[in-house]
Structure 1
Amino acid sequence: MRPALFLCYPKCSTCRKAAKWLEENNIEVASRNIATDNPDEKELSVWIEKSGLPIARFFNTSGNIYKENNLKEKVKTASEEELLGILASNGMVVKRPVLVTDDLVLVGFNEEQWSEKLK
């Protein structure tokens, strides 16, 4: 099995906590800095479908870009195409960390959920 893709922002404490958890649980990952190598629309579309989550869950709602651009309202009314464009425009808009394996996508770090899904 190939390593999971771990999208993170190195300065994010939640991402560092998730990375530590992955290491402690011997889960091999290929890390990617979401700020410098943000996902494109095609990747995001595949991940959203695979995750089974609504597209709104992929937005970093506590980030400055989300707040400054009033994305809370936009997420409610915009088409999925528009929202994919916004997410792909800047990795900092995407909720992190994101863990992508062959058969699942986890968004945000929840230790209980990750333990259940990955062990």
Structure 2
Amino acid sequence: MIFLEYPRCTTCKKAKKWLEEHEVSFTDRNIKLENPTAEELKEWYTRGNLPLKKFFNTSGILYKEMALKDKLATMTEEEQLTLLATDGMLVKRPLIIAEDFVLVGFKEQEWEEKLL
């Protein structure tokens, strides 16, 4: 299982602490240093059966600076994936990538259901 995080993100710190406290084993990946590729993102959002919009960090500075709220609706899936792959700060975090599911963001109840 992969845990994608931005180490300075308070939600990511909370999620990582939760994983460690519940003795969930994972491989850590810094999303800023090792941004997901468009291919990875496509695989993950398909595996997670989630809308692609869920993978955007809508509260992030870069998202707001680029006015993506208005642009995403007119972009193709391929354009959105390519954009997400340009900068890890555009990607919602933390992310849990498991063999048969994907978790986007830290919702403790959802994590308990899937990971414990």
TM normalised by structure 1 equals 0.96
Identity of aligned residues (%): 52
CA apart distance, 1:76: 1.2
Is residue 16 from structure 1 mapped to residue 13 from structure 2 by the alignment? yes
CA apart distance, 1:91: 0.4
SS at match of 1:18: helix
CA apart distance, 1:11: 0.2
Give the aligned partner of residue 69 of structure 1. Answer: 66
Is residue 57 from structure 1 mapped to residue 45 from structure 2 by the alignment? no
Q: Which runs of 4+ in 1 moved over 2 A?
A: none
Within a 5 Å distance, the mapping from 1:95-110 to structure 2 comes to 95-110=92-107
Contiguous gaps of at least 5 residues in structure 2: none
SS at match of 2:2: strand
Within a 5 Å distance, the mapping from 1:86-101 to structure 2 comes to 86-101=83-98
SS at match of 1:32: strand
SS at match of 1:112: helix
Contiguous gaps of at least 5 residues in structure 1: none
Give aligned pairs, total: 116
Equivalent of 2:4, from 4, 7, 12?
7
The CA RMSD over aligned residues, in Å, is 0.5
Partner Cα separation in structure 2 for residue 14 and residue 66 of structure 1: 18
- One-letter amino acid of the structure 1 residue matched with residue 110 of structure 2: Q
TM normalised by structure 2 equals 0.98
